[in-house]
Chains A and B, each alone.
Chain A
Amino acid sequence: MNLIQQMPAILIGMPLIAAFLTPIIDRVNKKIRNGFVIVVLILEEIFMITLAWHVFTNGIAIYTMGASNPSIVPLQAAVPIRIVLEIDGMSAFMGLISATVCLAAGIYSISFIKEGNGKGKYYTLLLIMLVGMLGMEFTGDLFNLFVFLEILSITSCALIAYRNWYGDAVEGAFKYMVVSNIAALFVLFAIGLLYSRYDLLNIAAISKIMEYGSLEKIALVLLVSAFAMKCGAVPMHFWAPDSYTVAPAPITAILVSASQASLYALFRTCFSLYGNLMDYHSIGIVLILFGLLSMFIGVTMALPQKDIKRLMAYHAVSQTGYMLLGVGVGLYLLGSSNFNTYGVKAMEGGIFHIINHAMYKGLLFLTAGAIFYRLKTRNLNEMGGLAHTMKFTSIFFIIGALAIAGIPPFNGFASKLLIYEACYKVNPILSIIAMLVSILTLASFVKVFHSAFMGPKLHDVEEAPKSLLIGMGILTFVIILFGLFPGWVVNNIVHPAVTALANRIDYINAVMGG
């Protein structure tokens, strides 16, 4: 048995079986359960790195469920039989993000989530959330994408409402549930339209024979609006601040990368399903507009917030704008001669920003969680002087805040610089708005740092427990590593993802053959 060949199924199947073993181990011993979950998450990270390395060096990996040789898709009259997982550079890139964030959040949860509130089920849901994200990122099948989207939505919703003794947690979860159900129905309707037209569900197979008519236009609008809704782009962002604020901090960190799984689905729809068949010029402009609106409205809404997690949630909306801007510029230029010069650079910036954002925004939410763990408040006005005792937490916060504001030598600077440069070539106004938003971001985080950490010692608190520090440390390590070697990361991790997105023909041929 070739382990690398089986890796995609193991990556999705292992957390699934571990998720259902957790409540049973929970009855035996709580410590063994914690160890078991952490071991599964570490294995997941190792396997993900192995698979990603394999994909970056050898090209697209195909896995056919239940076939006698999973690497070959059984075709019958140009119809691929069975569910196919298709892992190209972009999928592997997103998988790395999900696995890393889940590892950090899982370790963080050991001390953060108290025993006695159904912690066994908390870990079950956390692992199924990881399954949902990886499934969305790996699948090559539209209906399968919908199923994993639903798995992700339901588990996220349950975990947002985990602290159901607070009223606002239930409210946030309800809003999330309504929005994700509407988005899921949009997706299902769009899949139904495409299925009725082509009798196919495989993305590559539909893409190969698609003709861009009015039915396909309706499906495209439904898919783009649904995934933009799920990734929290303005004007469909209203659920994000509410549900990010009330979820437990490790879940908020995972929710950020869950939104990015929807962002991935959006890019996959635009580039691989439709690609240069559709009017990529106008869809590119739509994405750029989403991006500009998200960036500006997100950051201006963040400035007056007093609740630390709500402020960060609005920043998450604003940072999503950068990714949409970068990739939107790439889509706008698709097919033109400029694509290979600054179009690719813009996409590299946007996609590099995805992993950077998952790391530093995850870290910032985790530091906010550490403050909440000690002070039991999220209100900035009730904090102050925390740097006296919570030394590591404040260092982690400084690193996260500098990274999100785009200050060198941290990773946010590298991706933002790529976006500024490439967007300037298209229209200087795009870059100017992006820089302005970056300055406002810095201003708002200076405010948070000052009111939470500086000043005289007001609270007699201790440093956060070890598991919280380890969870935050993992993300900080990645941030510093990416900040110090951005060139290596862009060439070896980001560039394969961009080429995978841009080369629609390769994506089709991997399933349908030459």
Chain B
Amino acid sequence: MSEEKNNGRMSIIVRTIASSVFPFIVIFSFYIIMHGHLTPGGGFQGGSVAASAIVMLIAAYGYRKVDERVKENSLACIESIGAIIFVAVAFVGLFMAASFMYNFLVGSPFFGEIPHGGNTGILNSGGILPILNIAVGLKVMAGLSAVVAVMALSAGEKK
């Protein structure tokens, strides 16, 4: 039961590997979010991958150590901001252009390029879709991490 002795931490091997893998998982999640409009995946999937990185940290370092860096309150705040961005973009379409969720960025220099035929790698396309993906990604990452953090907290209380 070395786990309890170390205050919920796992062995040094696990911790070292978790620390070194962590940035790669986060970058992978950004990749999935940013390519959401081109390849399978998108905001939800990328956000879950980012949340899984935080789950890994909680498993490796114990809840208390992670809690010092990542506050549950700020996660809830980020979650709200993600949702606000999503609905606000939809409302910009309503007030600035034609209708709710209108893709008003098409033709503009920012994400506005719509190439003909297949599109395998031009990130600068899709209009408002990449923005919506980023908003969903933020929300899912913060939301799932908060859920896991609350579960870890309540599991810790029972001990």
Docked pose: A387 CA to B75 CA in angstroms: 48
Indicate which residue in B83, B94, B100 contacts A20 across the interface (CB closer than 8 Å).
Answer: B83
Cross-chain contact A1 with B102 (CB below 8 angstroms): no
Return A255 CB to nearest CB of chain B, in Å: 24
Does A9 make an interface contact (CB < 8 A)? Answer: yes
Cross-chain contact B100 with A17 (CB below 8 angstroms): no
User: How does the 8 Å CB contact mask read for B49-82 relative to A, with 1 for contact and 0 for none?
Assistant: 0000000000000000000000000001100110
Given A9-B99, A65-B100, A65-B101, CB of A17 within 8 Å of CB of B94 = no
Closest to A16 in B: B87
Does B103 make an interface contact (CB < 8 A)? Answer: yes
User: How does the 8 Å CB contact mask read for A6-47 relative to B, with 1 for contact and 0 for none?
Assistant: 100110010011011101100100000000000000000000
Given A6-B94, A9-B94, A66-B93, CB of A20 within 8 Å of CB of B87 = yes
Cross-chain contact A13 with B102 (CB below 8 angstroms): no
Docked pose: A68 CA to B90 CA in angstroms: 13
Given A9-B94, A10-B94, A23-B77, CB of A17 within 8 Å of CB of B102 = no
Closest to B88 in A: A17
Please give, as numbers and ranges, the residues of chain B lying within 8 Å of A396 by CB-CB distance.
Answer: none
Cross-chain contact A67 with B80 (CB below 8 angstroms): no
Interface hits, A36-79 → B, CB 8 Å? 63-70
Cross-chain contact B87 with A17 (CB below 8 angstroms): yes
For chain B, the bracket of interface size reads 20 to 34
Indicate which residue in A17, A20, A70 contacts B98 across the interface (CB closer than 8 Å).
Answer: A70
Cross-chain contact B84 with A68 (CB below 8 angstroms): no
Docked pose: A24 CA to B77 CA in angstroms: 7
Return B15 CB to nearest CB of chain A, in Å: 34
Please give, as numbers and ranges, the residues of chain B lying within 8 Å of A63 by CB-CB distance.
Answer: 99-100
Does B91 make an interface contact (CB < 8 A)? Answer: yes
Please give, as numbers and ranges, the residues of chain A lying within 8 Å of B83 by CB-CB distance.
Answer: 16, 19-20
Please give, as numbers and ranges, the residues of chain A lying within 8 Å of B91 by CB-CB distance.
Answer: 13, 17
Top 6 A-B pairs ranked by shortest CB distance? Answer: A9-B100, A70-B99, A20-B83, A66-B101, A17-B87, A68-B98
| A contacts, CB < 8 Å to B | 1, 6, 9-10, 13, 16-17, 19-21, 23-24, 27, 63-70
